[in-house]
Amino acid sequence: MHVRRSERSEAIRRRTAEAAPHRVRRAPRAPRKKNGARVFGAVALLLLIAVLVAAAIGWNTLHEPAVEVAAGKPVEVTIASGSSTAAIAETLASAGVIENAAMFRLQSRLSESDGLLRAGEYSLSTGMPYDLVLEKLKAGPDIVYFDVPIPEGFTARQIAARFAARAQVPEAEITELVTTGAKEFVAEHPYLEKAHEGSLEGFLFPATYRVKEGTSARDVVEMMLDKFDSELAAIDLSYAKSKNLDVRDVVIIASILERESKIQDEFPLVSSVIYNRLARPMRLQLCATVLYELPEGTTKLTNADLKLQSPYNTYIHDGLPVGPISNPGTAALTAAAAPDKTDFYYYVLTGKDGSQTFASTYDEFLKAKQVYQQVFGN
């Protein structure tokens, strides 16, 4: 039994030894290595294609024009304060100054111009080289603007002097236009047809105007007349028309309000006095209309002044003066078109703040004058 077991063990060891080489021969995995190489190659090819596609997209992004604009066309561009390089690039591309916003951003970064581009108004042209645009924006704006505030109640001559002083508009040229040039603007502004001696007084709307350096006197005047038109369009003139007053009459009344009252809240009351006197009829007898043809700066009238032979003197002439005596704003125009409904025929300055006392009778007027004398003296 012992011998047979030994033989059986020997036989098992031999079979095991014979089988071992076969397991070693299965170890090489050459075919799997070939498959891995193929997969790697495919992935690499896909990556290369992706890179080429991205490069193509990037090339097109940097070189494809954002807008089709003929080169060399003058354009004015506003770069807002605080704009980023990206925002500036989009503004320039939209105006056709540069072909591509992305390329401009890249050029700005490469030239270390980011943060150096200045806000303002620029005169540029379409299709400009990127480096030239960058240099201009780093140098700063080349368009100069002047802000010219025109207060309510200024006369035409005061307006001309203000534009000359603050916007370098030739004073003689603009003065001539606003005092005698109505005929040049009648075609687009027909209410000027009856302008007294060609004056634009009353129709030069008071506002703050932004004027580019080199703007002509005519352009300034046209700007103010256009502003008047737009403001007048929002005012209801139906009541004035029901009293047989036209646009020109309303402007004359409004111009008087600007000179007769310092407080806008009282404009409708002063306007009611004018309407009531016109309806009676009763001479307006308004000091401001006399002062209009006296030297600028005159504040007090003499008895001789009240007899001045002038078409603006409402002490010696019935009705409204021949033309406006100042350039009224919206509040005065609104009050002139629709006054308060009162029975007032008089008003007297009684407050140092410019406030006035309104009266229906002459006796009330005389009492108000006594208050004036107490406050201001004779």
Q: What pLDDT digit, counting tens, does each position of 300-313 carry?
A: 899 999 999 999 99
**Segment 80-103, tens digit of pLDDT:** 999 999 999 999 999 999 999 999
Q: What fold does the segment set 74-139 form as a domain?
A: Dna Ligase; domain 1 (3.30.1490)
Q: Do β-strands 346-349 and 208-212 pair in parallel, antiparallel, or remain unpaired?
A: unpaired
Rg of the chain, C-alpha, whole Å: 43
Give, in order, the Cα–Cα distances in Å from 305 to each of 83, 234, 289, 293. 60, 38, 11, 10
Residue 332 phi/psi, 5-degree rounding, is -70, -40
Q: Which amino acid is at 327?
A: N
Dist. CA 25–CA 289, nearest whole Å: 124
Residue 49 gets the label, from left (phi > 0), alpha (psi -120 to 50) or beta, of alpha
Contact 283, 318 (CB under 8 A): yes
**Segment 216-274, tens digit of pLDDT:** 999 999 999 999 999 999 999 999 999 999 999 999 999 999 999 999 999 999 999 99
Contact 168, 213 (CB under 8 A): yes
In the chain, domain spans: 74-139, 145-232, 254-344
Examine the pLDDT at 50 and tell me if it is beyond 70. no
Helical spans, DSSP H, in the chain: 2-25, 30-63, 85-94, 101-110, 130-139, 156-167, 171-180, 217-232, 238-242, 247-260, 267-279, 287-291, 303-306, 330-337, 362-376
pLDDT confidence tier of residue 45, bands split at 50, 70 and 90: low
Q: What fold does the segment set 145-232 form as a domain?
A: Dna Ligase; domain 1 (3.30.1490)
User: Which residues, 6 or more positions from 150, have their beta carbon under 8 angstroms from its beta carbon?
Assistant: 159, 162, 204, 205, 206, 207, 208, 209, 224, 327
Examine the pLDDT at 195 and tell me if it is beyond 90. yes
Q: What is the mean pLDDT of the chain?
A: 88
Dist. CA 334–CA 82, nearest whole Å: 40
pLDDT confidence tier of residue 24, bands split at 50, 70 and 90: very low
180 against 28, higher pLDDT:
180
66 against 322, higher pLDDT:
322
Examine the pLDDT at 13 and tell me if it is beyond 80. no
Put simply, whether the predicted model's pTM sits higher than 0.85 gets the answer no
Spatial CA neighbour of 148 closest among 209, 206, 203: 209
Amino acid 31: pLDDT: 53
Amino acid 17: pLDDT: 53
Q: Provide the β-strand partners of residue 294.
A: none
**CA within 13 Å, CB half, 118:** 12
Examine the pLDDT at 79 and tell me if it is beyond 90. yes
pLDDT confidence tier of residue 70, bands split at 50, 70 and 90: confident
> Same fold for the domain at 74-139 and the one at 145-232?
yes
Helix (H, G, I), strand (E, B) or coil at 151: coil
